[in-house]
Every structure is written in structure tokens, then in C-alpha cells.
Amino acid sequence: SQTIHQWPATLVQPVGSPLSLECTVEGTSNPNLYWYRQAAGRGLQLLFYSVGIGQISSEVPQNLSASRPQDRQFILSSKKLLLSDSGFYLCAWSVGLGSNQPQHFGDGTRLSIL
């Protein structure tokens, strides 16, 4: 069966520090991968998605970047964190390109910027 792992579960970082959140998927090949953020009191906002190794699409302009160095690995990064980067970050995967393929989420990373 397929599983998705995100780490760390919680992270407290000072403003201006770098960030690296990692997500890996097991049990499937060539998944679509996604990074979402849920800010306090708001819904989930899509940040990045990837349909293959090295292929990254950004949905909103921001202080973050994403990379996909391997088929089942998706990394969210920042060189200098801002206070507004605080939130709950979720990685998700889906198979196929059809609209009817549900996405499956990891348990998320709670990021607090001080």
C-alpha cells in the first residue's frame, strides 16, 4: 500500500533562518506531488505541484521554493523565513492526471516563526 511521510512534525524557526521540509511517498511510481499551506483560520492553499522529477510549478508568488530531486521526494525550502511563513504545511500525492484522482495527504508540519 502507498504511504506518505512528512517531517518534521513541528518546527520553530527564527525569522531569517533557512527552511527545508521533506516529503517522501512509498508504494507508487511517478506520483503527482503537491505542497499546501493552511494559514490560521483559512483553507488549504496550493503552493507547488510537480508531475515529474525536476518539474515544479508554482501557484502563488512567495518566499518559498520547491524541488523534486527524486521520483518520490518533494522538498519545500526557503533561504530566509518571514513571519508570514508560519502555518501548517501539507504534502500530498495523487496518481494519474485525471481530475477524479483524489489526493492523499501527509500529517503535515506545523511551522512557527519567531
Partner 1 sequence: DQQVKQNSPSLSVQEGRISILNCDYTNSMFDYFLWYKKYPAEGPTFLISISSIKDKNEDGRFTVFLNKSAKHLSLHIVPSQPGDSAVYFCAATLGSSNTGKLIFGQGTTLQVKP
Q: ω before 8 within 30° of 0 (cis)?
A: yes
Minimum separation from the CB atom of position 46 to partner 1 (A):
5
* Radius of gyration for the chain, computed over Cα atoms and rounded to the nearest angstrom: 13
Between 4 and 113, whose beta carbon lies closer to partner 1? 4
Q: Closest separation between CB of residue 55 and partner 1, Å? A: 10
Q: Which is nearer to partner 1, 59 or 80 (CB)?
A: 59
Phi-psi region of 69 (alpha: psi -120 to 50; beta: other; left: phi over 0): alpha
* Residues 29 and 70: beta-carbon distance below 8 Å: no
Question: Least distance from C-beta 8 to partner 1, angstroms?
Answer: 13
- 29-61 burial, b if ≥16 CB within 10 A, otherwise e? eebbbbbbbeeeeeeeebbbbbeeeeebeeeee
Measured from the CB atom, the residue of 17 and 57 that comes closer to partner 1 is 57
The residue (of 17 and 30) whose beta carbon lies closer to partner 1 is 30
Q: Which residues bind partner 1 (CB under 8 A)?
A: 4, 6, 9, 32, 34, 36, 41-46, 49, 51, 57, 59, 90, 92, 94, 96-108, 110
